[in-house]
Amino acid sequence: MSYHVKTALSDLWKEKWINLLGCLSMGVGLFMAALALAAVINSNRVASALPERFSLTVFLKQDATPADIAQIQNALRSDKPVKSVAFISSDKALANLKEGLGNKYSYLLEGLDSNPLQASFDVKLRKEYVRTVSVKALAASLKTMSGVDSVNYGKGFLDTIQKVVHAVSEAGLALFAGLLAGAVFICYSTIKILFYRKSDEIETLKLLGATGWFVRAPFLLEGAVMGFLGGLAAGAACFGAFDVFLSGVGGALPLLTNLSIPPALVAGLPVAGVLAGMAGALIAIGRVRP
Amino acid sequence: MIKFESVSKSYDGNMVLNDLSFHVEKGELAFLTGPSGAGKTTILKLIYHALAPEAGAIYINGQNTCFIKHSDIPWLRRAIGIVFQDFRLLLTKTVFENVALALRIRGLDEREIKARVMETLKMVGLRHKSDNFPQALSGGEQQRVVIARAIAAEPMLILADEPTGNLDPETAAGIMSSFKEINARGATILIATHNRDLYHNSGRKVFRIASGTAAGTVVRQEES
Ligand SMILES: Nc1ncnc2c1ncn2[C@@H]1O[C@H](COP(=O)(O)OP(=O)(O)OP(=O)(O)O)[C@@H](O)[C@H]1O
Ligand SMILES: [Mg+2]
């Protein structure tokens, strides 16, 4: 084993410029891959830290009395996080629905002899409060008031956020996979060059009875070392880039102080580098035919 | 130990060996001779399976190597020590490491490797050059490193292709006596050479290859 290690290190040193280039290229690839993954992780984290909603709708019972309605309205108005309250009568709701359906389908509603829609309050919340105040608690207290049928908190907004997070996650993961494949490819081409340069020596090893793994071992180690060093460089770059980012853009938006590059991700970079390097080396050498 | 049965081999349509048959018994020390280009190196390459014949069968230690599995080729080669005509030394490694390579490939441990390499280098008179690189050696010294690498692992079969081509008669005689000693310990040895001095009056079997016969490669077996 120590023989393979010695061979690998001396080979790496002999071709140090090619290998340095390989290390740095792998480092760049891994760095960008880490950023893509960090984007995915952070978008998920921001989404979960976000208030569940910025607005809520209070649906009223059909038999709610004007007194009930007034009481609810007053309760909402006096609540600090509430920015605005709009009352939507059942007639208005039906009109909105008709408008939403358009002329073509409005006949669907013609057969109705009574208005099935509920009156409601459309409540907008102040952004600066939604993080500290539990919207759930507000909704729960509203629900206990007489005349309130149900409280619906901005599901649509939540869905949008989730869609955005999904899109970021998918694009980020695809980018991550692509960049990781790029790192593998860089190692592949670097090792391929070394492999060709040593083809004469490899032929001799095989004639002396070396197995495929004996021939492969130094190259695998070289790939692993290159990947490891590339991963270390990428990790250092991650910390550096993140500091710059936080002191610049990050400070301006309070939401972004929540962002971070997870230490586990950075610690994983050399490991990912080793795996990518060995994979690249394996593909480069391929099957060693006797 | 080695048995060729009607073996034919050609390069790009040029027939080099045609319907060749001969055999070397276990424990023998035999010679292979013939003019340059007759096919001596080709025969050795067929034995260690760097080449495969187009026709015929080759048996090494009873195994027909024409049907050998890829994964078994390293094992076949580890049973053989080869002195290559073109040396095949690794120029980036020291004399010690070149000889040690044969033992590392066979999985020996470091202590045994050190002892055996030094012992073998002493045998070929190159103990003092163990830390040199091949390019700092004379042709004859390089040749002796190759011989050391071939015999260090004590293989049961040794193939030597012109092993004394770069040696003065005295050193050549020294190498020959080493071969005889190894042979006396049980190894089978086949030496391809032009050097008549090596086999003349040695009392060993000599296979002489005559080239260019249409009827087939004639191998005359003569007692020297
Ligand atoms: N790889 C090759 N491609 C094409 N022709 C080859 C190849 N190797 C050998 N030959 C030819 O095969 C013939 C036999 O070559 P071989 O090396 O076996 O001869 P030899 O008996 O070892 O000669 P020498 O005594 O000069 O070493 C020669 O005519 C040579 O030109
Ligand atoms: Mg030859």
CA distance B71 to A40: 46
| Residues A133-160 pLDDT 10s | 556 677 778 888 888 888 877 656 666 7
pLDDT attached to residue B148: 96
Among B78, B90, B158, the residue to mutate for chain A (most A Cβ within 10 A): B90
* Under 8 Å between Cβ of B211 and B217: yes
CA distance B193 to A170: 70
- Which parts of chain B sit beneath pLDDT 70? 211-224
Interchain contact, B84 vs A207, CB within 8 Å: yes
Which residue carries 């059909």 as its tokens? A62
Domain boundary among A126, A153, A180: A153
In the reported structure, the alpha carbon of residue B8 is separated from the centroid of ligand 1 by a whole-number distance in angstroms of 14
Identify the domain containing residue A98 by its residue range: 55-153
Give span(s): CATH 3.40.50.300, chain B: 1-79+157-224
Closest CA to B82 of A182, A91, A207: A207
Is A128's pLDDT higher than 70? no
- pLDDT bin (cut points 50, 70, 90) of residue A257 is low
Nearest ligand, measured from the Cα of B17? 1
Q: Is B52 on the interface with A (CB under 8 A)?
A: no
CA distance A151 to A106: 28
ipTM of the complex: 0.93
Same-domain status, A171 and A28 = yes
Distance of CA A247 to the CA centre of its chain: 22
| Residues A2-14 pLDDT 10s | 888 888 988 889 8
pLDDT attached to residue A141: 81
Q: In this structure, which amino acid lies at residue B115? A: A
Task: Give the residues surrounding ligand 1 with Cβ less than 6 Å away.
Answer: B 11-12, 16, 34, 36-42, 85
Over range A13-34, report the average pLDDT.
91
pLDDT attached to residue B214: 46
| Residues B131-186 pLDDT 10s | 999 999 999 999 999 999 999 999 999 999 999 988 899 889 988 999 999 999 99
Same-domain status, A136 and A191 = no
Q: Is B88 on the interface with A (CB under 8 A)?
A: yes
Over range A230-249, report the average pLDDT.
82
pLDDT attached to residue A133: 53
Residue B153: closest C-alpha in chain A? A208
Interchain contact, A209 vs B74, CB within 8 Å: yes
Domain boundary among A96, A126, A153: A153
| A84 vs B36: which has the higher pLDDT | B36
Over range A100-107, report the average pLDDT.
70
pLDDT attached to residue B215: 46
| A205 vs A42: which has the higher pLDDT | A205
- pLDDT bin (cut points 50, 70, 90) of residue A70 is confident
Q: Count interface pairs A-B at CB distance under 8 A.
A: 44
Q: Is residue A37 part of a domain?
A: yes
- pLDDT bin (cut points 50, 70, 90) of residue A254 is low
In the reported structure, the alpha carbon of residue B84 is separated from the centroid of ligand 2 by a whole-number distance in angstroms of 9
Q: In this structure, which amino acid lies at residue B199? A: Y
Q: In this structure, which amino acid lies at residue B197? A: D
Is A279's pLDDT higher than 70? yes
pLDDT attached to residue A51: 53
End-to-end CA distance of chain A: 21
DSSP chain B: -EEEEEEEEEETTEEEEEEEEEEE-TT-EEEEE-STTSSHHHHHHHHTTSS--SEEEEEETTEEGGG--GGGHHHHHHTEEEE-TT----TTS-HHHHHHHHHHHTT--HHHHHHHHHHHHHHTT-GGGTTS-GGGS-HHHHHHHHHHHHHTT--SEEEEESTTTTS-HHHHHHHHHHHHHHHHTT-EEEEE-S-HHHHTTS--EEEEEEP--TT--EEEEEE-
Domain boundary among A136, A153, A170: A153
Class of B1-79+157-224 per CATH?
alpha beta
CA distance B31 to B203: 11
Same-domain status, A165 and A143 = no
| Range name among A50-54, A159-163, B109-113 with the lowest pLDDT average | A50-54
Counting beta carbons within 10 angstroms of the beta carbon of residue A66, is it exposed (0 to 12), middle (13 to 18) or buried (19 or more)? exposed
Which of B18, B33, B42, B207 has most ligand 1 atoms within 8 Å of CB, for mutation? B42
pLDDT attached to residue A189: 93
Specify the pairing of strand B188-192 against strand B157-161. Answer: parallel
Phi first, then psi, for residue B125 (nearest 5°) are 75, 30
Domain count along chain A? 2
DSSP H/E element including A68:
helix A66-78
